[in-house]
Structure 1
């Protein structure tokens, strides 16, 4: 089980959609950029929801496991929103940041990723404990298959499988 949690943590660290900050989100991008980022935010949310649905189906979550599953899925959503906000801030400020500001912002993103991974592991552990041996095997295989692959390879593989809707529904 410890091995699975470590694998889960590594997977989450590689996927910014799963990270969460303990710090409150700073001011968002200027109003002029909000409409331009809305389609991207919608796509990110759709990818997060697609990943949640894929995991739910592949793990064969039972009605008895729904409470633990919901907590895990909510952390995934929160992490995705937090990381999206942090990256949006970074993009909005990239032309005016000093090297020191850039490093501080990178530190904030890295810390948010670590905090989010911790929260995700905490939410996943009771769910994993409730899984049947068959479901645990499915979880182990699912998470293991995503490790060690660059993010673009995972997205590319899923975009091929998803067909025309791939642009808005593939996971990161």
Structure 2
């Protein structure tokens, strides 16, 4: 149960990072998506660095950590591509196209979350009891803090600023 809560918190945290950085891109012209993507990627790299430090990852845990961090990066890239597509097509989409694209984004988010959980589980298992406490506190705080932001953007899910990804 605790692992599930940590993974959920991780998901909410990544979702919020993407949500916060994707909204400006969606609100502006499609050309603005490149800087937003760069910002999104930088924010994910920042979060990866923060978590690495906060969790006190040891050299023995680096392999599991790298797999987890790579999934975060892949999820960010995948969602960025989908949102750039959405922004580029927003003026020509029908209501049905919009719903189908949102379905695609939601599906990619669910698949990304599963990959993130799958990568986090062995990492979490490798953590010492003290590291697990740090992870639990860190993710719990991030989920609460970023969850509100993610929820706000989810309310606008049908708009080009639809938001969700996976972020610890």
TM-score when scaled to structure 2? Answer: 0.75
* Bigger mean CA deviation after superposition, 6-15 or 81-90: 6-15
Q: Confirm or deny: 8 A CA contact 1:65 1:127 kept in the other structure.
A: yes
Paired position in structure 1 for 2:137: 141
Structure 2: segments with no counterpart, 5+ residues: 19-28, 151-166
Q: Confirm or deny: 8 A CA contact 1:7 1:143 kept in the other structure.
A: yes
Structure 1: segments with no counterpart, 5+ residues: 20-31, 153-170
Alignment of 1:119-158 (within 5 A): 119-149=115-145, 150-151=148-149
Q: Cα RMSD over matched residues?
A: 2.6
Following superposition, the deviation at residue 11 of structure 1 comes to: 3.8
Q: Confirm or deny: 8 A CA contact 1:9 1:118 kept in the other structure.
A: no
Give the distance between the partners of 1:102 and 1:47, measured in 2 at CA: 27
Question: Which deviations, in whole Å up to 9, do the C-alpha atoms of 1:3-59 show, x marking residues without a partner?
Answer: 23234225415633789xxxxxxxxxxxx955x432222111110100000000000
Classify the secondary structure of the residue corresponding to 2:144.
coil
Following superposition, the deviation at residue 135 of structure 1 comes to: 0.1
Classify the secondary structure of the residue corresponding to 1:69.
helix
Alignment of 1:30-45 (within 5 A): 33=30, 36-45=32-41
Give the distance between the partners of 2:3 and 2:87, measured in 1 at CA: 34
Question: Which deviations, in whole Å up to 9, do the C-alpha atoms of 1:125-166 show, x marking residues without a partner?
Answer: 0000000000000000001112234127xxxxxxxxxxxxxx
Structure exhibiting the larger radius of gyration computed from Cα positions: 1
Give the distance between the partners of 2:134 and 2:84, measured in 1 at CA: 35
Q: Confirm or deny: 8 A CA contact 1:65 1:130 kept in the other structure.
A: yes
Question: Does residue 2 of structure 2 align to residue 3 of structure 1?
Answer: yes
**Structure with the larger RCO, 1 or 2 (CA within 8 Å, 6+ apart):** 2
Classify the secondary structure of the residue corresponding to 1:15.
helix
Q: 1:130 to 1:14 in 2, by over 3 A?
A: closer
Give the distance between the partners of 2:84 and 2:103, measured in 1 at CA: 15
* Bigger mean CA deviation after superposition, 87-96 or 131-140: 87-96
Give the distance between the partners of 1:120 and 1:140, measured in 2 at CA: 16
Question: Does residue 65 of structure 2 align to residue 69 of structure 1?
Answer: yes
- Runs of 4+ in structure 1 off by over 6 angstroms are none
